[in-house]
Chains A and B, each alone.
Chain A
Amino acid sequence: MQEIPTPSKKQPDHPLDDLIRTDRIPHIWCPGCGIGTVFSACLAALKGSGINLQKTVMVSGIGCSGRAAGYVKLDSFHTTHGRAIPFATGLKLANPELNIVVFSGDGDLFAIGGNHFIHAARRNMDITVICVNNLNYGMTGGQVAATTPHLAKSTTTPIGNPETPFNLPLMAYACGATYVARWTMLHTRDLTDSITEAICKKGFSFIEALSPCPVNYGRRNKQKPLDMLKVYQEKAIIKNDADPSTLDIDFEKGIILGKFIDLDRPTFIEEYDKIYRPRRLQENDPELNS
């Protein structure tokens, strides 16, 4: 009789396993997709930040990146298309103790959900928004997005995109975000450091993470799976504090990466407490209570 080998004592397969719902693996992301790398950077940042993970929640919308909430082993909410930010807003206001990370894609956050992004940034809602920007709608098979470069091909711009894409960091800055950064998934350490900083920072933080979609975007734009990574390597210009108005993505001339904005202004909850609930503010003040 053939002997069945007994499995060795379970060792963690990956240092981030404790933050992953391993019973939901394999994930849905395609070969060559960059979302997993951004997701790992996010998990590493959550782990390294020292925040209370039991009080940390991930909220996603719909799309490939929106599936992240289904893989993270934290309280996690996979909401409707574009509505992760207002859902997160309600969650944060109901329990200000929670640390909230919105992890979603460019289509979800900036097309269907664009209005919510604008207003959450304006209010300085104390949440961290991570946008995986893969330049197209991946889950539905590669349609044009609000981030697709001018003239790029997609299934709904078969000859080329007639529109102009958003400059996301400029938009975040203009709307009032207090922390704005952009990295690519190839700049994993910088991305992780940036997410860590954003999570620990009070106020509305925004990080754009450029990420390849070889199956749906690359294929239609004469890019092999590694081509986009080469562009990230060769065309990246790290320029912290760059003027947000100069951050349009130009894959020929260069993609400016870095931390662009890091400032402080009162959050919605701070202002609301000051104006409407001063009693609550006093109760929470350790100096007044001692």
Chain B
Amino acid sequence: MKPAVLTGEYFMTGDVACAEGALAAGCRFFGGYPITPATEIAERMAIRLPHVDGCFIQMEDEIAAMAAILGASWGGVKSMTATSGPGFSLMMENIGLGICTETPCVVVNVQRGGPSTGLPTHGAQSDMMQARWGSHGHYEIIAMAPSSPQEIFYLTITAFNLSEKYRLPVLIMTDEIIGHMSEKVIIPKAKLLEIVSRPKPKGRKDRFKPFTPGPNGVAPMPAAGQGYNLHITGLTHNEKGYPVMAVETQAEMMTRITEKIQRNLDDIIRTDSFLLDDAEIVVVSYGISARTSMAAVAEARKLGIKAGLLRLVTIWPFPEDQIRKLADRVKGFVTVEINLGQIHREVERCAGNKVPVFLVGHPGGTVIHPDSVVNLLKETF
């Protein structure tokens, strides 16, 4: 047996670092389907999972891959899949099943240009709103955006921890550039990693209700085959898990699946900053574009423009409070992202009409050059 945590220093792509993060987090099942630029995650898992007594299966499509990881999760195993835009679209219905049945798992989207088949080998960040609202119905979701292979290693662990803690599919919204970029990745010793597993039920099995929330709003979760006679359905259900077609039950279930996220925002939301404390202009960005933005902010400072960077690590739930507070003291925002304004709209919404919000966007296919951001800062502020 090779170790699950490959402690050491490596030169690794983001995709491989993501797979290693998953293994370190305790992932032991991967259901996948090949798609550029996410295939390398599946390939790495196909090699590595048997080393740690896990199981890899290439399913017949992404719908099946998503269904399989939900099944595996109820089998008591931490599970994951990885895909890109077209596959992400196919997974949407079962991501909704995961939300409704409160099933922990991790879904990675290595974003490429869209719509449709788009730009399979070129990066974009244009599935950000699909991550938020892609499955039908109203719900809360957790999505995170890493900015480097090193960060994707850690964020994959964080994604598993959050999915286990809050019982829902957690999305890693990376991009082709991070996925295919090779950089130094340090994998620490296993004992230094914080690993969270789903809350386990206690007490009498015959009285157990699978959706009675615990103190943080999340119900403990048994696995199939443990004697709980679970019934789990994608229909609107009560705390017992039984379908009930009633307005009240719908409200109760919706409250549970949305409030467990809304009431724990401080625990879920992660952001990072660069020269933000005295900034008058805030560049808001994430993923690969945050690196562009960092270079632009440094350049702008040289030109005497007091710019700072707010890097969103958690995209959903959106860090609304931070943007609102900044809007009270800064002169404006610039959103930088490889799409034509998705997170930009969120920044606009939270900034209200207090200060102007500008977009440095790109239709996809390449990184945004720092000069585009610097030029906008020079012209506007």
Contact = CB atoms under 8 A, between A and B. Distances in A.
B68 interface: yes
B227 A116 contact: no
B72 to A, nearest CB: 4
Given A24-B242, A76-B232, A79-B97, A95 B224 contact: yes
A5 interface: no
A275 to B, nearest CB: 9
A86 B63 contact: yes
Interface in B230-257: 230-235, 242-243
A76 B210 CA distance: 12
A85 B225 CA distance: 18
B55 A98 contact: no
A93 B225 contact: no
Interface string B45-60: 0000010010101011
B235 A94 contact: no
B181 to A, nearest CB: 29
For B55, B67, B96, B227, the residue with the greatest tally of chain A CB atoms inside 10 Å of its CB is B67
Contacts of A92: 71, 75
Interface in B48-104: 50, 53, 55, 57, 59-61, 63-65, 67-77, 79, 93-94, 96-97
B235 A78 contact: yes
B192 interface: no
B235 to A, nearest CB: 7
B224 A87 contact: no
Interface in B324-377: none
B274 interface: no
A93 B231 CA distance: 20
A33 interface: no
A276 interface: yes
Contacts of B303: none
Contacts of A277: 50, 53
A9 to B, nearest CB: 19
A85 B59 CA distance: 11
For A76, A95, A116, A280, the residue with the greatest tally of chain B CB atoms inside 10 Å of its CB is A95
Interface in A58-113: 59, 69-70, 73-80, 83, 85-95, 97-98
B3 to A, nearest CB: 14
Q: For this complex, into which size category does the number of interface residues on chain A fall?
A: 35 or more
A93 B93 contact: no
Nearest to B64: A86
A77 B243 CA distance: 12
A205 to B, nearest CB: 18
Contact of A83 (B53, B63, B76): B63
B55 A94 contact: yes
B59 A95 contact: no
B64 A91 contact: no
A93 B29 contact: yes
Contacts of B72: 90-91, 93-94
A251 interface: no
A90 B68 CA distance: 4
A90 B67 contact: yes
B271 interface: no
B59 A89 contact: yes
A103 to B, nearest CB: 13
B322 interface: no
A248 to B, nearest CB: 26
Interface in A32-71: 54-55, 57, 59, 69-70
Contacts of A59: 71
For B74, B224, B243, the residue with the greatest tally of chain A CB atoms inside 10 Å of its CB is B224
Contacts of A73: 229
A90 B75 contact: yes
Contacts of B97: 79-80, 83
22 contacts: A69-B231, A70-B233, A70-B243, A74-B229, A75-B228, A75-B230, A76-B232, A79-B234, A80-B67, A80-B96, A80-B97, A83-B97, A86-B59, A86-B64, A86-B71, A89-B59, A90-B69, A91-B71, A91-B75, A92-B71, A93-B57, A95-B224
Interface of B: 1, 28-29, 31, 50, 53, 55, 57, 59-61, 63-65, 67-77, 79, 93-94, 96-97, 223-235, 242-243
8 nearest A-B residue pairs (beta carbon): A94-B75, A90-B71, A90-B68, A86-B64, A90-B72, A86-B67, A78-B233, A91-B71
Interface of A: 21, 23-24, 54-55, 57, 59, 69-70, 73-80, 83, 85-95, 97-98, 115-116, 118-119, 268, 272, 276-277, 279-280
Given A90-B73, A94-B55, 7 more contacts: A55-B225, A69-B233, A75-B224, A91-B224, A94-B79, A98-B75, A115-B64
